[in-house]
Amino acid sequence: MVPGAILWLFLSLNCLLPSAKSQAKIPLETVKSWADAFGGEIYFIMTKYSGSLLLQKKYKDVEPTLKIKEVDGLELVKKFSEEMESMLGRKVEAVERLVEAAEDADLNHEFNSSLVFDYYNSLLINEKDGNDNYVELGDELILEPNEHFNNLLVNTTYSDVQLPTNVYNKDPDILNGVYMSEALNPIFVDNFQRDPTLTWQYFGSSTGFFRLYPGIKWMPDENGVISFDCRNRGWYIQAATSPKDVIIVVDISGSMKGLRMTIAKYTIITILDTLGENDFVNIIAYNDYVHYVEPCFKGILVQADRDNREHFKQLVDELQAKGVGTVNKAVLESFKILREFREAGQGGLCNQAIMLITDGAVEDYESVFEKYNWPDRKVRVFTYLIGREVTFAENVKWIACNNKGYYTQISTLADVQENVMEYLHVLSRPMVINHDHDIIWTEAYMDSALPQSEELFASQAQSLLLMTTVAMPVFSKKNETRSHGILLGVVGSDVPLRELLKLAPRYKLGVHGYAFLNTNNGYILSHPDLRPLYREGKKLKPKPNYNSVDLSEVEWEDQDEILRTAMINGETGYLAMDVKVPVDKGKRVLFLTNDYFFTDISGTPFSLGVVLSRGHGEYILLGNTSVEEGLHDLLQPDLTLANEWIYCITDIDPDHRKLSQLEAMIRFLTGEEPDLECDEDLVQEVLFDAVVTAPMEAYWTALALNMSDETEQGVETAFLGTRAGLMRSLLYVGSEKLLNRKFLTLGDKESIFTMDHFPLWYRRAAEHPPGSFIYSITSEEGSEGGGKPEVVTVSTSVAVTVDGKTAIAAAVGVQIKLELLQRKFWMAMRQPNDTDCSGVDGVCPLSCQDDNLNCFLIDNNGFIFISKGSTEIGKFFGEVDGSVMTQLLNMGMFRQVTMYDYQAMCKMPYHHHSGARPLLSPIYTFLAAVKWLISDFLVFLLEFNICGFWHSDNLADAKSVFHHSHKHKKHDMLQPCDTEYPVFVYENTIKETNGLIECGDCQKMFVAQQIANSNLLLLVTDAACDCSIFPPVLLEAKEVKYILLLSQRASVKCDRMRSQKLRRRPDTCHAFHPEENAQDCGGAAEISASLTLLLLALVTFALLLR
């Protein structure tokens, strides 16, 4: 029997037993009279100061002239999709022009090893030396703030060039590439003039430089390091290669101990970072036996999404070297997996590769390759020889060269990055030789590399922070290098998803409607419920898995994944679902029936969904008024428009960018700006709403002038909003006296119209009977008093009905001080002194101020508005009185709804040896191995390239890593997890109830009474009876562990990890080309180490850490 049923039986039986103590009697009629008196009083105040009855009358008066149109969801989603296809098509055309210009420039450029050339280096521009002269490569580049580029300082006439710290800015390859790519400057500018909605355009070179338009000042990190390398970015890797199945085979035999193991681990991490959601991967370690680093993944490949990559990194960090290497068994196992997946039509179905990481091979294992890979050589083999030892180098190189791969020798941590990147150039050869310029679109991501990214995180809705990139590879067209398939780089342009969603206007989607986008892999591109950031201390940071949130994790009611399957397959269709929508940070829930309409966006791997809530959400209100009349009412000072909505396009013409949407609309209507392009349907709706709501200004103003300071002191703001995003408001008190100054401002986005939602007070009112008020208790975050609730937001909806169809036209309300509600409450909750108390058994006259009574005012989700205990205000009632809350649940007056959050962050115990962090900064691991270094100093000299190390950014990273490690020693880490949490909902069909609770040696009586025309309840309970034997009812979220029984723990978790969700593969594949020069398969370069330089480095490093 479930615990709730047992408790209910216990309560029922105990109610029949005689009590040891007689309970305090609470007259039901008295409580009802209190509720009626209080309800009538606050209803009068709210209707009076909100003007709700007047606004309802004004809309009622114009009902005969109104039309209510039902939205055709399928037609709407198709229209949005076509507009998005057109918009994205313009971005593709811009990128194609850049590719053509870059390839022509390279064709006409002769390499000059002694080239001397000055260019705008993004790190050095506008820098001066001690003599006030511009430094070399740092000429003046005028930078100005530009709204279109998030108000960053940019130059829209020129691009500039960024290089990572470990790339020499005067290397001949760099200078020739930069000189050649100067030809892109006029194309960048021309593209931007043709399509002013373009944002960043860029060229990432295979040599490591990054040309970015518009030009910008690039700032190093706190250690003076620029770690950004364009070749590591998803858009570069995805454009340079086709999908790939990769098995990483790593030697963990005893000879790999020490620095070799560290280099091997860092090599694996670097390879993993080159994989994306269209790739598949596994990692096999070998010594005496073959080990899967994740035993759960034995015999399979898993999608290389962010979750799996991070999981692999943590496991790789735990590898230890011991035993004897048996490489042939590991390679044989790898071929077996790749063949099985290929024959079963699984994985990427394009490139397949084995990455062999070892310090040597005693033979070439020709028989293995002859049996499993020749003659077709469907699997490329890339080999990475770790360390300075060259005894078995020829065997390791032979393996790569005879299997269409590439061989490199990695002697130092600083060598890893460049050597790993070589495999991408090999995989790009077939595409380059064939000159196939595939267009790729990346998954959603947020660019934290640019300046002011933290400010951007805080200023925009989380769901609108992400972007996608369209990119194309750039090839060498020179005939003499054709068979080598030389990739020059990748051209790309960013497309903020915010810009894409502007093509699905909020006003066409209704109060609860929204549009969303997902990828061919089922991951979310944009969704109003996507939360990619989390707070760590005072900082907002991207979650580790922010761009691999699956559609099924935000639309979790789609349990059979019907919606997900249809959208991934690019279908056009419709689906209805009953959904539970969390609002107010998950404290409340709306029960809606949503209609989902979906289709693909042609030419992209994306699908678009449009959601309309059943009923009023699928109706559009159409009114008619003259421009002259509407314009007059638009000019009233109390009126504003949703500035994130697009009434008029203001971001194309620079002269329009400083206009607010209201200013732009007025200029459009008056003819001052005939070039402005405006949404005429939306403008007409605004004009109509402006006329209908105009009398509210005079009404509110008259009230403010005649307001009594005593009776109704505490009413602060009156406000209204319409479906067209029009808002009016008036202050009943001076702004300096407001308790919540953020309300209806950008500082409180939940209270205004934004791109991805209507105001919370509007959304909640829309699901409450028109004319009945929704009360919400709020506090100003960061206010003095630690966020103690001080204000109450009250709102109601205004509905109109035409031809049997009812639409929500507006919502109206007031914000009041909580103190006003409290004053009215305590005045109503007492019997007059002249009450006839004859025949009354108990206290008379009765008052909520009596010591033997507790009186609460709670809302329909159980949150306390009023209580004797001031510390209880704002808390969930079940936390304060578990006994009464439990009884209300068992009686059906409240019910518990279980909600899920698949984007949660849970505290995990902090471990010093965390994941892959040490591997991400090579110097960290090097210093951790100082003991080893001292004991094996001579071997270290042979194996470690201090020159490369010294010139890399590793030293600069060291202090940062040590500081980071020290800072987190005492804190738990937050990691992605799934949680379930309860929300409690009042069943409004039950107007009143009462009961007795057996609490051991006493019975506790309680009475609950609905407050008319509101979402409030009056609760009166016996304070004398101690019922603390009942545990509190809490709102705690619990992590979903995905286990059934303890014995099944491993298998259930493993099944979940192994599960492969439906995905749609990219359309193109370039795995091999007959003209490919497979003999270009790499080689080793001898690098000498200097003992003097080593000692100098160690001394200098010691000084850096002081």
Task: Please give the DSSP secondary-structure letter assigned to residue 604.
Answer: S
Pick 1016 or 937 by higher pLDDT. 1016
C-alpha to C-alpha distances, 947 to 131, 526, 928, nearest whole angstrom: 32, 46, 20
Q: How do residues 654-677 score in pLDDT, each as one tens digit?
A: 788 889 999 999 999 999 988 899
Beta carbons of 616 and 766 less than 8 angstroms apart: yes
Within 635-731, residue ranges assigned H as helices are 661-670, 680-693, 695-705
* C-beta separation of 752 from 720 below 8 A: no
Q: Give SS3 for 422.
A: helix
**Separation of alpha carbons 575 and 597, rounded Å:** 7
- Tell me if 1037 sits within 8 A of 56, measured CB to CB: no
Number of Cα atoms under 13 Å in the Cβ half of residue 821 = 28
Q: What is the distance between the alpha carbons of residues 264 and 283, in angstroms, rounded to a whole number? A: 12
Q: Which residue reads 């009042």 in tokens?
A: 986
Residue spans of beta strands (DSSP E) within 840-938: 853-859, 864-866, 894-908
- Please name the amino acid found at residue 354: I
Query: For the chain, how are helix, strand and coil distributed in percent, rounded to 5?
Result: 35, 25, 40
- 1052 confidence band (pLDDT: 50, 70, 90): low
pLDDT(623) > 80? yes
What is the token pair recorded at 847? 């008052």
Q: How confident is the model at residue 966 (pLDDT cuts 50, 70, 90)?
A: very low
pLDDT at 928 > cutoff 80: no
Q: Between 782 and 977, whose confidence is greater?
A: 977
Adjacent-strand bridge partners of 302:
281
- Quickly count: other Cβ atoms within 10 Å of residue 329's Cβ: 15
* Residue 329 · residue 290 · CB < 8 Å: yes
Q: How confident is residue 691, by pLDDT bands cut at 50, 70 and 90? A: very high
Q: Are 682 and 227 in contact (CB under 8 A)?
A: no
Burial-class residue 705 by CB neighbours within 10 Å (0-12, 13-18, 19+). exposed
Residue with tokens 């193991």: 261
Angle at Cα 744 formed by Cα 459 and Cα 649, nearest 5°?
Answer: 60
* pLDDT score of 364 more than 90: no
Q: What angle do CA 1056, 1057, 1058 make, to 5 degrees?
A: 95
Amino acid (1-letter code) at residue 81: S
Average pLDDT over residues 879-895: 96
Q: By three-state DSSP, how is residue 327 classified?
A: helix
Task: Identify the band that residue 305 occupies on the pLDDT scale cut at 50, 70 and 90.
Answer: confident
pLDDT at 919: 41
544: left (phi over 0), alpha (psi -120 to 50) or beta: alpha
pLDDT at 14 over 90: no
In 942-1010, DSSP assigns E strands to: 973-986, 992-998, 1003-1010
Ranges 189-193, 289-293, 618-622, 908-912: which has the least confidence: 908-912
- Residue 1054 has a pLDDT of 77
How many angstroms separate the first and last alpha carbons of the chain? 65
Q: Which band of pLDDT confidence, cut at 50, 70 and 90, is reported for residue 1051?
A: low
Does residue 1074 have a cis bond before it (omega within 30 degrees)? no
Contact 650, 656 (CB under 8 A): yes
User: What was the pLDDT predicted at 326?
Assistant: 85
